[in-house]
Amino acid sequence: NATFFDDFRRKHSGPLRFFDDFRELADLDSIDSTLYGMIETVVSSRGSVFAGTWFSTFSGYIVRLRGYYGMSKYFTYYSWLDRKFFMHEWMNVGSGSLFAREYPVAWTGIDGDKFVDNDSEKPRKKAREVVSVDGG
């Protein structure tokens, strides 16, 4: 039910797109529906901004793909407010939950032979606080 996103639409610029918006254009009915999850993963990973779910392996894989594509960590968020900006800071594997999030070491320097223990992306100024969907 797309009306679930009405508050989000009102508070944020830019159009929202859904899988069904492309059903006819991409002839999705001709594709085995068991492949829809993989298609959504690739499409989600290429968005300019991604907000995933903490503890979700589906979100985790999308975050990892974003890393492989070289997309900035500063445009990846988690929906759980306590963890919203967790991808914006380097964290070593084992410093937190092993399965609740992705770690940049999975894609940073992946094609090299050096051990990676820090982030290659430059720090950016503190992100401005974004007003939540409920106005808080």
Which residues lie across from 76 on neighbouring strands? 50
What mean pLDDT, rounded, does the chain reach? 83
CA-nearest of 91, 89, 75 to 130 is: 75
pLDDT in tens, 67-112: 999 899 899 999 888 989 988 888 878 777 777 778 888 888 788 7
pLDDT for 131:
46
Residue 86, pLDDT score: 86
Torsion, Cα 96 45 88 114, to 10 degrees, reads: 70
Report the C-alpha gap between 114 and 112 in whole angstroms: 6
